[in-house]
Amino acid sequence: MSNVSKQDISKSKRQMQSKEGSTLKEGDLSYQVILIDPKRCKPWSYHNRDTAWLTEKGCQDLIISIKRYGQHQPILVRPLLDDPQHDFEIIYGVRRWFACSVIANQKVLARVSNIDDKTAMILMHSENADSKDISEFERAVSFSKQMKSGLFKNQTELAKAMGLTQGTISKMIKAAEIFEYLWIRILFRDKLDIPVKLAYTLYTLLNNQETFDLIKLEAEMCHKAQEKTHIISPARDTLKQLIKAAKLKTDEMAQTEKVLLMVDNKPLVSCQIDKFGKIAIIIEKNAKNMDRAAIERACIKAITDYVFV
């Protein structure tokens, strides 16, 4: 260790534990700001940065800036008490830490605080919420991990803590679930350019056995092509290819439609039945201008003829 000795680190840990020594406060967060050896730090298991960022190329802007002007924004860490290889784990600021780690004799400026996991998750999201480089899918995977941690009782609580709607959290967590399948995950270099919207669409198609099988078959073909050509397509193109394979079959499973009430040669009330037996009664928007009794009779006929058969 260069500027900071083992004894200094141990003393800092003891001070944080006993709340002795000089500390700063920001809201409910108490912390010390010190310079630490980046080699004695490691990313927190819940951090939301993909490892693809942690290269000299991925952090080139920070490396140049820190070399020229120094590090002005501290990272957030907390002490590790039972790790002989590391003294701190990084809650946020993983890129800043990595940039410092590749600069000779560069210490990393850090806030040290004994926060719990739940608080750490909220602070990490708050710090990175407006970051332009962290991708939406990285956040989605992070939210999925946080939900599985058991620290939040449900998605509503997680959404409230992160300042997002429950619908947004739900969609992002479901989108992240596509990486639960190794045969999908291996098709992508990293999480950086995966659109959440397309990932969510793929997730919904994976929930049907027939389209699941089609997606898996297409994914296996994609992987074979990648191994043969050593070319990995952009994430957007790969997702669209998997979705298209499933939707071609979906189109073949077109709904059968039974027209129940016609007005001026146009269907006003109809009943659609898909391959799986799901029934939808469709009432066109101009029905409100027609005879109410006729609309009701058509709907009752749909229930009688196609539901209770």
Q: Tokens at residue 119, please? A: 């608080």
| Percent residues over pLDDT 70 in the chain | 82
pLDDT in tens, 98-149: 999 999 999 999 999 999 999 999 998 888 776 656 788 988 998 999 999 9
pLDDT in tens, 131-143: 656 788 988 998 9
Residue type, 12: S
Identify whether the C-beta of residue 92 lies closer than 8 Å to the C-beta of residue 123. Answer: yes
Residue type, 187: L
N-to-C CA span, the chain: 79
Closest C-alpha to 24, from 74, 83, 99, 98:
74
* Structural domains of the chain, with CATH: 6-116 (3.90.1530.30), 136-252 (1.10.10.2830), 256-307 (no CATH)
Residue-level pLDDT at 304: 80
Identify whether the C-beta of residue 53 lies closer than 8 Å to the C-beta of residue 193. Answer: no
Q: Tokens at residue 95, please? A: 């890129």
Residue-level pLDDT at 175: 96
Residue-level pLDDT at 193: 87
Residue-level pLDDT at 28: 61
**Interaxial angle between packed helices 136-148 and 155-162, expressed in degrees from 0 to 180 and rounded to the nearest 10:** 130
Residue-level pLDDT at 50: 73
Tens-of-pLDDT digits for all 309 residues of the chain?
Answer: 334 444 544 544 444 443 333 456 555 677 889 999 999 999 998 887 777 778 888 889 889 999 999 998 999 999 998 889 999 999 999 999 999 999 999 999 999 999 999 999 999 888 877 665 678 898 899 899 999 999 899 999 999 999 999 999 999 999 999 999 999 999 998 888 899 999 999 999 999 888 899 999 999 999 999 999 999 999 999 999 999 988 876 555 555 666 676 766 667 888 877 666 778 888 888 787 788 888 888 888 888 877 765
Antiparallel, parallel or unpaired: β 256-263 and 266-273: antiparallel
Residue-level pLDDT at 24: 61
- CA-to-CA distance for 170 and 161, rounded, in angstroms? 14
- CA-to-CA distance for 77 and 113, rounded, in angstroms? 7
Identify whether the C-beta of residue 94 lies closer than 8 Å to the C-beta of residue 54. Answer: yes
Stated pTM of the model: 0.65
Residue-level pLDDT at 3: 41
Residue 253 CA neighbour count, 13 Å, CB half: 14
Count of CB atoms situated within 10 Å of the CB of 99: 26
- CA-to-CA distance for 150 and 65, rounded, in angstroms? 39
Q: CA triplet 198, 212, 170: central angle to 5 degrees?
A: 45
